[in-house]
Amino acid sequence: MPQGPGCKILISLFLWLVSISTAAAHEITPTLASLTFADGRYRIEITTNLEALLAGIGPEHADTADAPGAAEYDAYRRMPPEGLRDALTAFTERLMAGIDIRLDGARVVPGLAETRIPPVGDTDLPRETTLVLEGALVPGSQALTWGWSADFGSSVIRAQSVGGGLFAMWLQNGDRSPPIPVIGAPARSVFQVAWDYLVVGFTHILPKGLDHILFVVGLFLLSPAMRPLFWQITAFTVAHTVTLALGVLEIVVLSPAIVEPLIAASIVYVCVENLMTQRLTAWRPAIVFAFGLLHGLGFAGVLAEIGLGRDDFVTGLIAFNIGVEAGQIAVVLICFAATYLIQRQSWYRRAVAIPASAGIGLIAAYWTIERLGFV
């Protein structure tokens, strides 16, 4: 195979993509905290990777398999709910120390009212445990703030205030939420809302959206020339923008059990076509548009998990989409940089585009089978 600095960079990039395809199952995802107020009480449902908390694996480890507590983490994942509940009992004091809830600035300690631990399933995938915290509001309480220890990772706080105000925010590095009013919703500037959702959109592509990354890389591999790439990316962008909006508005809703296998299958198709043709076919933009509709529903699922307040809806939706586009553009720029010195060589397709398309296609084929529940 021809060698050169550009070829080595691309090969390294491809090997990195292959390696993180397996690491994706071991990624620590943000904890989701859903806050509601009712009858003079507050209730917070925390959905988290309890095994990672028990094993002391924090956000500094992109892959739990590389963490010092990896063996302990794997043991917890194989543990039935009863055993994990016993482990939680011993960990409760440490857990509550890492949760900082304040009413009008004064720290309060809620009670652990309920624990919902799913049975052992696919141990290659994280298990989501729900912890329900409850406490009484001090008479006259105006606002509550949420804090989640940086040692536990990032968190998304969603709050439903009395009167229908919905608030959602992604917090990192131990950041605290702004005061969340018991009645109404917190006041945040348009810039603050836009920045929060732009960051969420970008990080959903880089580094967390491996399936979307591989789809864009697959489009690039057909031809690094700007014209064919422009038509494909444009079709993909228009399509996912439409279904992102329709999905968030709940006009079009499909189960992730349908969307996720189809997204993986879309990568397979793109890679197979890359192997069969060297040029942009007349139907390729239309096919990419159809696949973009599926990816948009996947993006909508992310926003549905985080939540979009009524007052923040338009700003958050636009900012999230811009973040997604910035992530996709970053992927394309990385591909251009990796292949700049070699993409015009006569051996580029034979030595780089075909092997890379085949490898990505195999990864996506495995995902398709896995997401259909056959492995």
pLDDT at 1: 45
- DSSP-derived secondary structure letter, 25: G
Distant-in-sequence, close-in-space partners of 271: CB < 8 Å, separation ≥ 6:
218, 221, 357, 358, 360, 361, 364
Q: Kindly tell me if the per-residue pLDDT of 128 is higher than 70.
A: yes
More confident residue, 135 or 304: 135
- DSSP-derived secondary structure letter, 303: H
CB atoms within 10 A of CB 112: 15
Return the closest-CA partner of residue 64 out of 27, 111, 34, 109: 27
Count of alpha carbons within 13 Å of 87, Cβ hemisphere only? 21
Q: Kindly tell me if the per-residue pLDDT of 43 is higher than 90.
A: yes
pLDDT above 70 coverage of the chain, percent: 85
**Is the preceding peptide bond at 207 cis, omega within 30 degrees of 0?**
yes
Q: pLDDT digit string (tens) for 230-275? A: 888 888 989 999 999 898 888 988 888 899 899 999 999 999 999 9
Q: pLDDT digit string (tens) for 88-125? A: 999 999 999 999 999 999 999 999 999 999 998 777 67
Residue 278 sits at φ, ψ, to 5 deg, of -105, -10
Please give the helix or strand (H or E) that residue 5 lies within, else none. helix 5-23
Rounded (10°) CA dihedral 300, 303, 307, 311: -80
Give the integer Cα–Cα distance in Å for 114 and 97: 18
The mean pLDDT of 34-51, rounded to a whole number, is 93
Give the integer Cα–Cα distance in Å for 242 and 228: 22
More confident residue, 251 or 196: 251
Give the integer Cα–Cα distance in Å for 215 and 238: 15
Reading the block at residue 214, the tokens are 């591989």
More confident residue, 149 or 199: 149
Tell me the one-letter amino acid at 175. Answer: D
pLDDT at 25: 44
Q: pLDDT digit string (tens) for 352-368? A: 999 999 999 999 999 99
Strands 31-38 and 155-160 turn out to be: parallel
Q: pLDDT digit string (tens) for 201-241? A: 888 888 778 889 999 999 999 887 788 888 888 889 899 99
pLDDT at 63: 60
pLDDT at 160: 72
More confident residue, 176 or 69: 176
Q: Kindly tell me if the per-residue pLDDT of 310 is higher than 80.
A: no
Q: Kindly tell me if the per-residue pLDDT of 27 is higher than 60.
A: no
More confident residue, 70 or 312: 70
**Percent of the chain that is helix, strand, coil (3-state, to 5):** 55, 15, 30
Tell me the one-letter amino acid at 338. Answer: A
Give the integer Cα–Cα distance in Å for 131 and 260: 27
pTM assigned to the model: 0.70
Give the integer Cα–Cα distance in Å for 276 and 95: 54
More confident residue, 126 or 292: 292
Domain boundary assignment for the chain: 29-187, 199-371
Reading the block at residue 292, the tokens are 């973009």
The whole-chain average pLDDT of the chain stands at 84
Reading the block at residue 182, the tokens are 């018991």
